[in-house]
Amino acid sequence: MSLRLATAGESHGPALVAILTGLPAGLVLDRDAIDADLRRRQAGYGRSPRQQIETDEVEVLAGLRQGRTLGTPLALVVRNRDHKNWTWGMSPWPPEGEPAGKGTRPVTLPRPGHADLAGVLKYGLADVRDALERASARHTAVHVAAGAVAKALLAEIEVDVAGSVVDEAGLRARIDAARGERDTVGGVVEVRAEGVPPGLGSYAAKEDRLDARLAAALMGIQAVKGVEIGDGFALAGLRGSAAHDEIRTDRRRDTNHAGGIEAGVSNGEQIVARAAMKPLPTLMKPLASVDLETGEAAQALVERSDVAAVEALAVVAEAAVAWELARAAREKFGGDALGDFVAAWRAYLERIQWR
Ligand SMILES: Cc1cc2nc3c(=O)[nH]c(=O)nc-3n(C[C@H](O)[C@H](O)[C@H](O)COP(=O)(O)O)c2cc1C
């Protein structure tokens, strides 16, 4: 039994959609909890006014009846409210009537650090917008909705996942300084998962390793350029005697340098993963680029943009980690009915005599 997630949607298109398969039947979902996570993603210091336009809400089109999953594909939709300003420019079909609103003129000024240049070259596009609309982090909204579903499933086996900003105290000052100079900043976020039993993931194959899966999930988020599990890069400078977490007679540890994963398998300690976000690539003081139409030197596209999205990344990273942990838990405990899943988890804890 494996969880799968497929998403679609452009930044200014009609909506973002996600299809989740592999959920057990009988899981109770709370619309307010999903919407609360969507709002957390939109909040945060340094975001652009777009976040006030959007006020994201989840809609469910399939797989849920009266608040309970049916064990069938769950289809989620988050509408792009801003689409009303782009109905001509982002019309899925050849638009009717005179050009109106936003997105009517082709973008030819690729931004360094974005998908713009690589996207038009790879897909043979004439309008950079055809690349940037999907490459944008806007669709992290449906990933957050999927993460909220994953967290509901994980709560059934007493796992709690929470993301936060590392060095939050200094972030606002860095954002204020950058905004004044029409610049952008990045930062580091951390996700902790409490209550993960030993035995999620596997050393049997590299793609089964839980650390590899978490790294891929975090690196899969826009603008993430580095991932650490536990003490990560700092471990390289330590001696073995200081780097490893000694095992007590009750099989727990007093330290957690490993971040809760050894040999690609959870070891029962808290899972700790960090992700480093680069400064956002759309600058109000644009970087040097080329006009793809004329071949002349030009300044990159300036489009409404955040100064920082580190707080949003904490929410998106939390969702990504929750999704991967839920996927690993589904593989380990299976079950078509929620009760089967929970019973398998209980039986396993009994077998290993955990806690
Ligand atoms: C939550 C979130 C919000 C973002 N907001 C913006 C933004 O407003 N402006 C921008 O230029 N990049 C933003 N980004 C980053 C770009 O989406 C990202 O840098 C771009 O897709 C290029 O991908 P790469 O950085 O992974 O190479 C955001 C990323 C995340 C995770």
The answer on pLDDT for 51 being more than 70 is no
The whole-number pLDDT of residue 50 equals 63
Using CA of residue 177, residue 277, residue 313, residue 236, what is the dihedral sign? negative
pLDDT digits (tens, 9 = 90+) for 234-259: 999 999 999 999 999 999 999 999 99
Ligand 1 pocket check: which of 41, 56, 134, 136 to mutate, most ligand atoms within 8 Å of Cβ? 136
Q: Residues with Cβ < 8 Å from 217, sequence gap 6 or more? A: 320, 321, 323, 324
pLDDT digits (tens, 9 = 90+) for 176-221: 999 999 999 999 999 999 999 999 999 999 999 999 999 999 999 9
DSSP string, 151-212: HHHHHTTT-EEEEEEETHHHHHHHHHHHHHTT----EEEEEEEESPPTT-S-SSSGGG-HHH
Using CA of residue 237, residue 162, residue 147, residue 341, what is the dihedral sign? positive
CA 226 to centroid of ligand 1, rounded, Å = 14
CA 188 to centroid of ligand 1, rounded, Å = 14
β partners of residue 60: 76
What distance in Å separates the CA atoms of residue 90 and residue 111, rounded to the nearest whole number?
20
What distance in Å separates the CA atoms of residue 24 and residue 329, rounded to the nearest whole number?
12
Query: With a 6 A CB cut-off, is 300 part of the ligand 1 pocket?
Result: no
The answer on pLDDT for 47 being more than 90 is no
Using CA of residue 259, residue 261, residue 266, residue 269, what is the dihedral sign? negative
Paired tokens of 295: 């071949």
Paired tokens of 72: 């069938």
CA 252 to centroid of ligand 1, rounded, Å = 39
The whole model's pTM is what?
A: 0.97
Cα dihedral value 142, 220, 308, 151, nearest 10 = 50
- Phi, psi (5° rounding) for residue 59? -120, 145
Which candidate, 319, 309, 221, places its Cα nearest to that of 43? 309
The whole-number pLDDT of residue 84 equals 95
| pLDDT confidence tier of residue 1, bands split at 50, 70 and 90 | confident
Q: Residues with Cβ < 8 Å from 15, sequence gap 6 or more? A: 9, 77, 78, 79, 80, 83
Query: With a 6 A CB cut-off, is 289 part of the ligand 1 pocket?
Result: no
What distance in Å separates the CA atoms of residue 298 and residue 109, rounded to the nearest whole number?
7
What distance in Å separates the CA atoms of residue 218 and residue 312, rounded to the nearest whole number?
13
8 Å CB contact between 217 and 344: no
DSSP class of 280: P
Judged by DSSP in three states, 57 sits in: coil
pLDDT digits (tens, 9 = 90+) for 286-317: 999 999 999 999 999 888 788 999 999 999 99
pLDDT digits (tens, 9 = 90+) for 61-117: 999 999 999 999 999 999 999 999 999 999 999 999 999 999 999 999 999 999 999
* Unique residue bearing structure tokens 């078509």: 336
* Unique residue bearing structure tokens 């005179």: 98
H/E run at residue 277: strand 271-277
Ligand 1 pocket check: which of 48, 306, 307, 315 to mutate, most ligand atoms within 8 Å of Cβ? 306
Q: What percent of the chain is predicted at pLDDT more than 70?
A: 98
Judged by DSSP in three states, 324 sits in: helix
